[in-house]
Structure 1
Amino acid sequence: MRNIRHDFLWGGAIAANQAEGAYLKDGRGLSTADIQPFVPGAKPTDLHFNDMDSETFKRYKNGEYYYPKRQGVHFYERYKEYIDVLAEMHVKTLRLSISWSRIFPNGDDAVPNEQGLVFYEQLFEYMKKKKIEPIVTIFHYEMPLNLVEQYGGWTNPKLIDFFENYGQTVLRRYNNNVKYWIIINQINLVHKEAFASLGILKDQMENYEQAKFQALHHQFVASAKVTEFGHNLNPTLQMGVMLADTLTAPYSCDPADVELNFRRNRMQYFYSDVLIRGEYPEYALTYFEDRDIRINMTEDEKNLLRNNTADFLAVSYYWSNTVKASENSMDPNTTVKNPHLKVNRWGWSINASGLYLCMSKYWDRYHIPMMIAENGIGFKDELTIDNGVRDDYRIEYHRDHILAMKEAIREGADIFAYCSWAPFDIISAGTAEMSKRYGFIYVDYDDEGNGSGRFHYKDSFYWYKQVIDSNGEDVFGHK
């Protein structure tokens, strides 16, 4: 039986493109996230950067929309205020990302932007001063827009070199302040977040599915190169791979549902199998052969993957779904809602048991240290007359998921961190809304960017502080 570590990292997670703002300040270039518009009344699925075509890309880039991620929640200018309030909640860690276009504005620049490097240097040093451990993601859904327009995104092998240069630059600069590195955010979501992750315009691809897997291979190689560099630079650095948990359950005990679920889940393990076990598994090679998908890879790249595997697995977990053979296919975008689960207004199911199951399965498969890199769910919060938020629903969600995590730990899983998404309200990744709130801290901006920016503590703020202070022992009471 294993207990929660005494040095367990309780904290939260944000992304630069959803928090920083200052989208052209101090030499930063345009990124893919900067052209995501807010469209009032649109369905969330309409706003995901998935399956982007050239016409939509041009419309988003040049349209007269409001682009929330260009201002975020002004973390760039106000980072000390945000870190201070997290320190008041006693968080031990903050997972956050570096904006690629803040360091290399065009992605292919010969030299990095010193002003961008200085910003993160000051940020990480201030976090350390406040005793908050940085966990840093190098690439989190925002690549320099120039790399899409001039190179075709990750389909072009030149991006391996550009990314390696970027990765080496930030590792050299920050390795004394940052121990934990996640190279690519949710590397397995290439089908759900094809544009955000890969920078691909589908109408420019002869075979879209093959293009995605070839681009993914380039990300694998780039990840191995950055991992190799990090290990050689400073052997104490921990280089991680990150998955969004998309493991499903069969809708029924119908053998067809069970088999489809097995095949689907095995292809979800594919991404971490490559980066943790160091090679393409046979089931994936068969999958590609059956679909006439040909991945260009060299023997040197195979050796690189084999010799530079990840030190830890980071997992984001939000919801769970089922698969039904009569309705679904191997396409990971096709699922059926579990009728036994409640959902929020955005259709996200709530299933804490799924966190116990997935973390236990990953532990059984890999036996390497793990962290929960994201866990949360969006709600519409309302300020009370005393400027608080009575958010028992958020407390209940996190309490149940923390209990599920503790059960996985009790049965042996080596989990070293829990990062809520997000500890303070930020712009939504998928819908670009501010009103889809995740935080323990209410940040007074609305969907159009208006507001005072003031912080208001939700009931969950005091509850999470209590959880942290008790190292996860006291999850039931709150002020």
Structure 2
Amino acid sequence: MSKSSYFPKEFLFGSAAAAYHFEGGFGKDGKGASVADVIPHAPSEGRTTVPEDGNLKHRAVEFYERYKDDVKLFGELGLKAFRTSIAWTRIYPKGIEEEPNEKGLQFYDDLFDALHEQGIEPIITITHSAEMPLYLAEHYNGFANKKVIEFYLKYVRTVVNRYKGKVKYWLTFNEVNIVAHEPFFHAGVAQYKEPVDDNLKYQIFHNMFVANSKAIRIIKEIEPDAMVGCTTTIGPIYPLTPKPEDGLQAYFDMREMLFHIDVHVFGKYPDYKLKEFKEKKLKLDITDEELQIIKENTVDFVAYSYYMSGVSSFNRSNSKVRDVNIISKMSNPELKKNEWGWTYDPVGLRTILNIVWDRYRLPEFIVENGISKPENLEIGINGQLTVYDDYRIEGLRDYLLQINEAIHDGVQVIGYTNWAVMDFVSGSTGTMRKRWGFIFVDYYDDKTGSMKRFKKLSFDWYRKVIDSNGAFLFEEKQY
């Protein structure tokens, strides 16, 4: 392990959030209903017919009303970058309107200006998971329908024209490689209660490939110097045993996990996937024109979430047991797990950084990674309320040290925006119980709490890491 920092001066130490997790402001200033507004709990538990009061996302943590003070806190934290998303339904409430909602556009103008005033680079996801207008999901079947591509592209053109010069880094979609696990949540495909067969799955994937590439073309036309990526969630996959068959299965599973990035970077479907389409006799609506668009409009960098690694076994290769952020539910006997059953593998981050670099030779951006725990306020040594989240400090330090090692290995890394800057409503549970942030928000599942913000122990720690450009990571005393 290195004993000095290799982070370049321009490295974007940052943090992240997304509109539906923390903005709130449901129905305010013309905002329409999104997919998230009818999913009150875990996506796997299904939706409500209409938005209902029990959905914590409707109020979330009131960032929409409190963004000025919150952004000042982000500046105090010292962030160089902040990743968030634009709520599609603030701009086009149903997704089909002729003209955008000016109040929604003005909110993000003001937000981006506030970030720049604090010296923070906005990293903007054009639409995050569950942020599709509910109308497009219910009336057009989301990205299963090619008409939705055009609605999406109109929205892209609107926001990129509006924020030209304010946003350099754009992300077209979030974690597109897990769309098939929760098609309603991630792609607005309304028959989400039924299993998604391979034909529908790959049609959704293809339509989103087309949307991604056409969005890149639009962004580059408007802002040629913009940097554009599209996020997936990935991690290394290890063979469960030294058996050659397990090693081969791990390779096949890894290749499958990287399929979306292959198309985003290389601009074409890999041969093994075309062979699979033929063998399964899939009847996909794919045109030569669309393939040409995909070929000509590829990403500038590889952006991804990293939360854990996975394991593979030949004997489990046909298992249908999957989870949105877990490659498989097979247990890796060498790794610890958290309360949610997610394995903890910092070395896996260095591993995937090198795998991605060797495969694509494009700069990488880790846009999600973090430590979550159920937490409560306590009185600190200075008499102020705080959270002693030493486990978050230790975990994030381990991850950052492995990024440092990967940079030393020769990997080009643009930045790191951990999940998350502050506590908010969890996407996987729909609750406040799963807390990720440097900032504690006094709000709870029973809708009690003051909504006041409190700095956790990790707040001051991360500020020191950023101020020192990573050098503080090597200090003996971290907190």
Common fold, TM-score beyond 0.5? Answer: yes
Distance 1:311 1:121 in 2: 25
1:190 shift after superposition: 1.4
Distance 2:166 2:36 in 1: 27
Q: Which amino acid letter does the alignment assign opposite residue 125 of structure 1? A: D
Q: Does 1:25 align with 2:12?
A: no
Distance 1:113 1:354 in 2: 43
Q: Deviations over 1:72-92 (max 9, x none)?
A: 110000001111111001111
Q: Which amino acid letter does the alignment assign opposite residue 279 of structure 1? A: K
Q: Deviations over 1:139-184 (max 9, x none)?
A: 1011000011101111100011011101111000002100000000
1:292 shift after superposition: 2.7
Q: Which amino acid letter does the alignment assign opposite residue 112 of structure 1? A: P
Distance 1:204 1:439 in 2: 32
Unpaired segments of 5 or more residues in structure 2? 323-327
Q: Which amino acid letter does the alignment assign opposite residue 351 of structure 1? A: D
Any runs of at least 4 consecutive aligned residues in structure 1 with deviations exceeding 6 A, and if so which? 203-207
**What is the TM-score when the length of structure 2 is the normalising length?**
0.93
1:266 — aligned with what?
A: 255
Q: Which amino acid letter does the alignment assign opposite residue 105 of structure 1? A: P
2:235·2:349 contact (CA, 8 Å) conserved in 1?
A: no
Distance 2:446 2:21 in 1: 14
1:228·1:308 contact (CA, 8 Å) conserved in 2?
A: yes
1:370 shift after superposition: 1.0
1:330 shift after superposition: 6.9
Q: Does 1:329 align with 2:332?
A: no
Distance 2:225 2:107 in 1: 24
1:264·1:332 contact (CA, 8 Å) conserved in 2?
A: no
Q: 1:362 aligns with which of 352, 356, 380?
A: 356
Distance 1:207 1:335 in 2: 20
Q: 1:373 aligns with which of 360, 367, 378?
A: 367
Q: 2:73 aligns with which of 78, 85, 88?
A: 85
1:206 shift after superposition: 9.3
1:320·1:349 contact (CA, 8 Å) conserved in 2?
A: yes
Q: Which amino acid letter does the alignment assign opposite residue 33 of structure 2? A: L
Unpaired segments of 5 or more residues in structure 1? 39-46
Q: Deviations over 1:417-447 (max 9, x none)?
A: 1111001111111001112111111111111
Distance 2:196 2:85 in 1: 32
1:258 shift after superposition: 1.6
Residue 190 of structure 1 aligns to a residue whose secondary structure is: helix
Compare 74-83 and 334-343 and name the one that shifted more. Answer: 334-343
Q: Does 1:180 align with 2:178?
A: no
Q: Does 1:48 align with 2:48?
A: no
Residue 179 of structure 2 aligns to a residue whose secondary structure is: coil
Compare 222-231 and 194-203 and name the one that shifted more. Answer: 194-203
2:325 — aligned with what?
A: none
Q: Does 1:69 align with 2:69?
A: no
1:193 — aligned with what?
A: 182
Q: Deviations over 1:302-355 (max 9, x none)?
A: 111111110011111111221222234275824302111111111111110110
1:262 shift after superposition: 1.2
**What is the TM-score when the length of structure 1 is the normalising length?**
0.93
User: Residues 330, 181 of structure 1: CA spacing in aligned structure 2 closer, same or farther, 3 A cutoff?
Assistant: farther
2:459 — aligned with what?
A: 461
Q: Deviations over 1:12-71 (max 9, x none)?
A: 010100000011111110000111114xxxxxxxx235xx8xxx44xx134866101111
Distance 1:97 1:25 in 2: 17
Q: 1:444 aligns with which of 439, 442, 445?
A: 442
Q: Which amino acid letter does the alignment assign opposite residue 30 of structure 1? A: A
2:134 — aligned with what?
A: 145
1:291-330 to 2 correspondences below 5 Å: 291-329=280-318
User: Residues 63, 100 of structure 1: CA spacing in aligned structure 2 closer, same or farther, 3 A cutoff?
Assistant: closer
1:229 shift after superposition: 1.0
Residue 213 of structure 1 aligns to a residue whose secondary structure is: helix
Q: 2:99 aligns with which of 92, 111, 120?
A: 111
1:463·1:478 contact (CA, 8 Å) conserved in 2?
A: yes
Residue 315 of structure 2 aligns to a residue whose secondary structure is: coil
Q: Deviations over 1:107-142 (max 9, x none)?
A: 111111111111101100111111111000001011
2:32·2:92 contact (CA, 8 Å) conserved in 1?
A: yes
RMSD of the TM alignment (CA)?
1.9
Q: Percent identical across equivalent pairs?
A: 38
For these two proteins, the number of residue pairs brought into alignment is 464
Residue 335 of structure 2 aligns to a residue whose secondary structure is: coil
User: Residues 123, 332 of structure 1: CA spacing in aligned structure 2 closer, same or farther, 3 A cutoff?
Assistant: farther
